[in-house]
Structure 1
Amino acid sequence: MDILLDAVHWINQSTAGATEVITGFSDNLWANFLMYALVAVGLFITVATRGIQFRSIGEMFRTLKDPAGTEYNGKKSISAFRAFTVSAASRVGVGNIVGVALAITMGGPGAVFWMWVIASVGAASAFAESLLGQLYKRKGEDSYIGGPAYYMQRGLNARWLGLIFVGFIVITYAFVFVAVQTNAIVGATAGSFGVDISGTNGMGFRILVGVVIAIIAGFIIFGGIRTISSVTEVLVPVMAVFYLILGLIVVALNLDAIPGVLADIFAGAFGIREFVTGTLIAVITQGMRRGLLSNEAGMGTAPNAGATASVSHPAKQGFVQALGVYFDTMLVCSVTAFIVLVSGNIPYGDRDQAGTLTQTALATQLGPWAIHFLTVAIALFAFSSIIGNYYYGESNIRFVTEKHLPMNVFRLVVIVFVFFGAIASLDLLWNLADLLNGGMVIVNLTAVCLLMPKVIKVLRNYESQRKAGLEPIFQASDLPEIKNLDAWDGTDELTQRSYWDEIERKTAEKKAAQGK
């Protein structure tokens, strides 16, 4: 134990300087470039698709209910909803609780407005990247597989660019972010049990929690995408509903304060005080930055999960993943924001207190029991993110090699990072992830912009079928000018017209029987 304590202490001390340098570089990158690039690309896609994220909200909900058919390999396919929950598992995590509190602490109430803005604009980017993930997916050993690396290689003939993206996403999500999520679980549980884990204290508690999380995660990780999606299909809706109910209770208890909270959000977003003091840019940056890190729009993460789904048309998963951005930011993040803002007593400028701010706010509103409730919520959110983040890494490792030995080695390394997150201070890792996220955004959005003509063609194909009263289906022969679409060869039953005609016939018979 003493050796472990000394090692952790040495790591924390030796990385202090690096943390400061990386934080400064990351802050400059986001404030001076990425913030504008994200908005510009989102607006470009919004104009190119005629506001797809606004005019197709009904279609988002409709496609989410599509049935799971039978894949090319004879197995029951991963439905659009199950693929949605895998990406939501990564999206709905500690960022929704700690990240939002951090944005408010460092940027004030106005940061919440800019989180909403980045979600509204980013939903268009999410649509485009997830459509591309579906369009260029390929048949894997156990399911479809795809993502940005695949559409960079197949759509742009730029495997080298795909390999750069693989490096970013594997390090950031499969290693760094799984450690961050474990660290959040340890912090939350320590708060509930009154365990001091400051510095190198409480190491026995840290190790115990880390081992438990690593073992559970290991069983799921080694089960593959079908096990992962079966877990997230249950875990994500349950945890999200419970958290939303808790937030609504807080809102209901403070209805008289809501107008004032909304006024603070909008005033802070464009406030004279923020403009005069020079903090307006900080407000905008914090809101957009934390909003992106929460909903991941345009980062190239969700397409990895979305590509696993068997759907009748590539545009369908674009609609589903755009809905995921709204779900994450407009619902879950907003709930956290209202919980924090109605409680008052926000330690503005104190980054260290952001981690426990939401718990403290809930305790103020609902009593000490709420701390324990939120501990469970954070644990579920963080654990689901570990699973989702791991799968992003797996799908990209498969881009490099399909061999079992490298994949199993990768899985073991992920589990080590899951445990490492329980025992180490993660200031350096968190800020490094911020920086690497910026690299992911640049690489992915460059590819998406270059492939937008193909996105528009596929979207028009979808909309022309809907106008004709047909359930949209897609096969590679429909757009022969787009190459490398071997997953769309018509062997998946969901892409066959006869499948949907049969569903329509059964639906008509059922309605007729009910009419009698």
Structure 2
Amino acid sequence: MSEFLGTVSGLVWHETLVYLCLAAGVYFSIRSRFVQVRQIPEMVRLMLKGEKSPSGVSSFQALTISLAGRVGTGNIAGVATAIAFGGPGALFWMWVVAFLGASTSFVECTLGQIYKDRDKLTGEYRGGPAYYFSQAFANTAGAVPMKIYGYVFAAVTMLAMGLLLPSVQSNSMASAMNIAWGWGEWWVAVGTVIVLAFVIIGGVKRIATFASIVVPFMAVVYIALALIIVLMNASEIPSIISLIFSSAFGIDSAFGAILGVAVMWGVKRGIYSNEAGQGTGPHAAAAAEVSHPAKQGLVQAFAVYVDTLFICSATGFLILSTGAYRVFEGESSDGAVIAEGGILPEGVEVGPAFAQTGFDTLWNGAGASFIAISLAFFCITTIIAYYYMAETNLRFLLGKAATINVPFLRGTVGSNTTMLLQALILVSVTIGAVSTAADAWTLGDIGVGLMAWLNIIGIIILQQPAYKALWDYEKQKKQGLDPMFDPIALGIKNATFWENYDPATGKDKQRSAAAPE
């Protein structure tokens, strides 16, 4: 089975996907006139403000839902695996993916806002790639193919978010807790399931509240402590930067043979971590209450920076500056050791142990516990975000049928298809906690890759409305206005939610016309 999964992962993550991700990021950057650089001040301003309503969450809450999905085991164990199999230069390529991916994230998340919808069951805003693929080309010659494309993406996302990706998070968390405290994997699985069940059954509002409290706090604490250790090894920083760049371009003879591998692992782990182009960000973006789609597109673009340039970089410098790394040949820990920092114990498994050993250089024996606690919070919030995205796509696929009672659950609380999805993700968490790390990561890579293929190709086809929204936003800002979105005036078709919504009042147009204030 492991060999089969590895073969599938290799096909999904063919080098074509790596270059497609990079090329799309370059193209979107040029088309948007490098919005990810020009609009950084506006990104920060928007991140800290925004309105929420009974139907939508605030921009900050939407950001934290998105960060909950982005900030997880990829920021700790993912960075470790990138360095172990791609060399220190993989960190540079993660930066490249983040910089270019911020423009990709702007495009996909702005599209998520433009083509969002109101859930007929809960009244909450929902959206994502499945929504914009199916809506944007309605009433055109390409309507049927894109509608089918939307359904395919929704099905793949449910598979990835409900079954494949949660197992990676729970596996890393269980591994870290076992190293730190000797806890058995089954105990970790049971505890995680209890916490998750409490949060996800509460719906998007409880998810947003939980994420907005936990994610910023843990991210700040983690970055601060990692930077303390890096600064304690400040004399190593120049050599580490040199090592990263020489490894990234194959200048260092030790890493020359794995130059292509460095690019592959940097892009693969970069996308796994910041999810730019994967299609996850638009789900959270669509849930926000904003007066203009570009607002949330800018906020979500900044989320890529937070994830990779801040948190992943903190992990990378922590591992490299303390010497808690080992680089293997052949993209496997069974391969020969090409280089190492010298402080890792023999036989240590690639993953959270790299960061745990690095933290131990400051607090001997406490590093394992700190990483275990950090991963517990990061992974739980990530799994919660995965559930929200899986549920959104379930709603898209089934509509009102999502409330149909399942016969063998009749009479129980939430006895419908949504509860089946909740059960599926809890089972995935349990399986992941007791599985091998290699199989869990392979499953996760397959899920990320499938979504990235579908979403990037789709947004290349559909990109134009995002730029129209951006130019309109910037034009209104220059006029000193708080931008309001009118898709009809911009020639954007099939944005049905916005056609019937008044951003000035935050109400449906028909409702405000019938009962003016």
TM-score range, shorter chain: 0.7 to 0.9
Mapped to 1, the partners of 2:473 and 2:313 lie a distance apart of 32
Matching residue within 373, 378, 390 for 2:370: 373
Instruction: Give the direction of change, closer, same or farther, for the CA distance of 1:93–1:455 in structure 2 (3 Å limit).
Output: same
Give the conservation status (yes or no) of the 8 Å contact 1:22–1:435: yes
Question: Match for residue 27 of structure 2?
Answer: 44
**SS in structure 1 of the partner of residue 158 of structure 2:** helix
Deviation at 1:420, TM superposition (A): 1.9
1:398 aligns with 2:384: no
Give the conservation status (yes or no) of the 8 Å contact 1:192–1:371: yes
Deviation at 1:487, TM superposition (A): 4.0
Give unpaired runs (5+ residues) of structure 1: 1-14, 196-204, 497-516
Matching residue within 80, 83, 106 for 1:104: 83
Alpha-carbon displacement from aligned partner over 1:480-508 (angstroms, at most 9, x marks no partner): 54223224523455658xxxxxxxxxxxx
Aligned residue identity for 1:21: T
**SS in structure 1 of the partner of residue 351 of structure 2:** helix
Decide which moves more: 174-183 or 466-475.
174-183
Give the conservation status (yes or no) of the 8 Å contact 2:76–2:351: no
Mapped to 2, the partners of 1:287 and 1:277 lie a distance apart of 15
**SS in structure 2 of the partner of residue 278 of structure 1:** helix
Question: Match for residue 35 of structure 1?
Answer: 18
Question: Match for residue 310 of structure 1?
Answer: 289
1:463 aligns with 2:474: yes
Give the conservation status (yes or no) of the 8 Å contact 2:82–2:269: yes
Mapped to 2, the partners of 1:246 and 1:467 lie a distance apart of 41
Alpha-carbon displacement from aligned partner over 1:194-253 (angstroms, at most 9, x marks no partner): 35xxxxxxxxx3222211111110111111101100100101001101101111111221
1:472 aligns with 2:483: yes
TM-score (norm 1): 0.87
Deviation at 1:139, TM superposition (A): 0.9
Instruction: Give the direction of change, closer, same or farther, for the CA distance of 1:481–1:239 in structure 2 (3 Å limit).
Output: closer
Give the conservation status (yes or no) of the 8 Å contact 1:476–1:486: no
Aligned residue identity for 1:473: M
Alpha-carbon displacement from aligned partner over 1:405-445 (angstroms, at most 9, x marks no partner): 21121111111212222222353342133133222112111
Question: Match for residue 344 of structure 2?
Answer: none
Question: Match for residue 78 of structure 1?
Answer: 57
Decide which moves more: 42-51 or 263-272.
263-272
Question: Match for residue 18 of structure 1?
Answer: 4
Matching residue within 344, 352, 355 for 1:358: 355
Question: Match for residue 346 of structure 2?
Answer: none
1:67 aligns with 2:46: no
1:145 aligns with 2:126: yes
Deviation at 1:171, TM superposition (A): 1.3
Question: Match for residue 117 of structure 1?
Answer: 96
Question: Match for residue 515 of structure 2?
Answer: none
Question: Match for residue 57 of structure 1?
Answer: 40
Mapped to 1, the partners of 2:504 and 2:422 lie a distance apart of 33
Q: Which has the higher helix share?
A: 1
Alpha-carbon displacement from aligned partner over 1:135-171 (angstroms, at most 9, x marks no partner): 0000112410000000000013322101111122111
How well do the aligned residues superpose, as a CA RMSD in angstroms?
1.8
Alpha-carbon displacement from aligned partner over 1:448-497 (angstroms, at most 9, x marks no partner): 1112221121111111100101011113443354223224523455658x
Deviation at 1:294, TM superposition (A): 0.3
Decide which moves more: 338-347 or 85-94.
338-347
Mapped to 1, the partners of 2:463 and 2:182 lie a distance apart of 53
Alpha-carbon displacement from aligned partner over 1:377-431 (angstroms, at most 9, x marks no partner): 0111111111111111111111111322211211111112122222223533421
Mapped to 1, the partners of 2:220 and 2:279 lie a distance apart of 26
Question: Match for residue 419 of structure 1?
Answer: 430
Decide which moves more: 397-406 or 269-278.
269-278
Mapped to 2, the partners of 1:494 and 1:50 lie a distance apart of 32
Question: Match for residue 175 of structure 2?
Answer: 187
Aligned length in residues: 466
Instruction: Give the direction of change, closer, same or farther, for the CA distance of 1:411–1:494 in structure 2 (3 Å limit).
Output: farther
Deviation at 1:345, TM superposition (A): 4.8
Mapped to 1, the partners of 2:428 and 2:294 lie a distance apart of 35
**SS in structure 2 of the partner of residue 348 of structure 1:** strand
Mapped to 2, the partners of 1:139 and 1:320 lie a distance apart of 21
TM-score (norm 2): 0.86
Mapped to 2, the partners of 1:149 and 1:274 lie a distance apart of 46
Mapped to 2, the partners of 1:274 and 1:106 lie a distance apart of 16
Instruction: Give the direction of change, closer, same or farther, for the CA distance of 1:177–1:262 in structure 2 (3 Å limit).
Output: same
Q: Percent identity?
A: 35
Deviation at 1:69, TM superposition (A): 4.2
**SS in structure 2 of the partner of residue 439 of structure 1:** helix
Question: Match for residue 178 of structure 1?
Answer: 166
1:159 aligns with 2:140: no
Decide which moves more: 401-410 or 253-262.
401-410
Give unpaired runs (5+ residues) of structure 2: 138-142, 334-348, 404-415, 508-517
Mapped to 2, the partners of 1:377 and 1:293 lie a distance apart of 18
